[in-house]
Amino acid sequence: MSKEFLVRLLSLEKDFLANNSKLNELLGHFQNRKKSRLVVRRGLEHIALKIEDVVLLYTENKLVYVIDRQGKKYLGDKNLSEMELELDDTMFFRANRQYIINVEFVKGFKPYEKVKLWVDMSLPELNHPIIISQENAPQFREWMFNA
């Protein structure tokens, strides 16, 4: 092999590695992109609900429900864990196995049974007691103070 060929080969390798990192960066951007809307159902109708209008998501009898700022209830098409991955974790918090809540609608929180937290949501007609477990309480406090 000639020296010129080797230099050219090393140059090509360098170009491919540089472009590969840019491609990985671009792919990472799209893979980490969070949704701006959730497609939910109400009866036979599919509705594109803006993320900022979602107060909370919860599971009951193996179904996932989404409640919006007007207190309307919709049916989600995925399980809670799948939906959690699609949501921005600076805006939404997995309170427990049953609930994911939006920081914009948290009115406050207080101690509950000494080590747990009771979350008060800003929707008055919301009849869902949201309890943060002892294990999740420190992360919840950090999430609230950093929101």
pTM score, two decimals?
0.74
Domain ranges of the chain: 1-30, 37-146
pLDDT score recorded for residue 86: 87
Question: 127-138 pLDDT, tens per residue?
Answer: 888 999 988 999
Over residues 137-146, mean pLDDT? 90
* Residue of 139 and 147 predicted with greater confidence: 139
Neighbours of 70 (CB within 10 A): 9
Tokens of 144: 């609230």
Q: Which of 133, 97, 87 is nearest to 112 (CA)?
A: 133
Tokens of 7: 């230099």
Contact 49, 40 (CB under 8 A): yes
* Residue of 59 and 21 predicted with greater confidence: 59
Neighbours of 15 (CB within 10 A): 10
Question: 22-66 pLDDT, tens per residue?
Answer: 656 655 555 555 678 888 999 899 999 999 999 999 999 999 999
pLDDT score recorded for residue 33: 57
d(CA 107, CA 5): 68
pLDDT reading at 122 higher than 80: yes
* Residue of 46 and 147 predicted with greater confidence: 46
d(CA 49, CA 121): 19
pLDDT score recorded for residue 126: 79
Torsion of the alpha carbons at 124, 128, 129 and 133, rounded to the nearest 10: -130
pLDDT score recorded for residue 124: 73
Which phi-psi region, left, alpha or beta, contains residue 66 (left: φ > 0; alpha: ψ -120 to 50)? beta
d(CA 65, CA 79): 10
Contact 66, 79 (CB under 8 A): no
pLDDT score recorded for residue 125: 79
* Residue of 22 and 139 predicted with greater confidence: 139
Question: 59-105 pLDDT, tens per residue?
Answer: 999 999 999 999 999 999 899 999 998 899 889 999 999 999 999 99
d(CA 147, CA 144): 5
CATH superfamily, domain 37-146, is LytTr DNA-binding domain (2.40.50.1020)
